Amino acid sequence: MTDRSPISQDPEEDKTLEHVRLWDPALRAFHWLLFLCVVAAWGLGEFGPDIMTLHFYFGYAICALLVFRLVWGLVGPKAARFIHFIYGPKTTLGYAAKMFRREPSYWRGHNPVGALAAFALLGLLIAQVATGLTADPDDFVNVGPLASYVGYDNSVMANRIHAIVAKLILLMVVIHIAAIAFYKVWKRENLITPMITGWKWVKKSDKA
């Protein structure tokens, strides 16, 4: 049965926890810049203007940010590296089974469920950038800079996929915001402040 008891313990008084510098400045800047660029690109794509120069510019910015994240996921600080939040099925299912307990997880980095969402979002954004660069909406104006290299049929298909992936990205953003609210309200764990300050309460025994 799910534990619904309220939480009152101050993390500063919990000897099993430690306050660590988890998220580095570059990763935090990436996170907030990516959020702003994705929201701006989506809004411009949905609501115009018809000549989508600004949409393209934000798309290029997202492309640059993704390149940074892929590099940082290999050579950045420990918490930023992909290897740090790749989990097996047992760990992921174990975390998911306890996720709805009304208690903070105090996970050292991306928890297993959050890691799946992070990889899914990165994959969708990479697909969105690739299709945007090669898309041809057949309006002779908003043609991707690489559309001529993939052929007309493929560029038209890329444009269709671009529209579909945009909706999936919006869904992922909504899920991400809902998850943050869930952790804040139900689990009493603030995930926003650590992504601003870099500091987070984590379990001393959690070396994941």
Q: pLDDT tens digits for 39-73? A: 999 999 989 888 899 999 999 999 999 999 999 99
DSSP letter, residue 102 = S
Q: What's this model's pTM, rounded to 2 decimal places? A: 0.89
Cα–Cα distance, 8 to 111 (Å, whole number): 23
Radius of gyration of the chain (CA): 20
Domain residue extents for the chain:
22-198
DSSP E strands: which ranges in the chain?
17-21, 199-203
Residue 152, helix vs strand vs coil: helix
CATH number belonging to the domain at 22-198, selected among 3.40.50.170, 3.10.290.10, 1.20.950.20, 3.40.190.10:
1.20.950.20
The residue-averaged pLDDT of 183-206 equals 92
- At residue 139, the 3 state secondary structure works out as coil
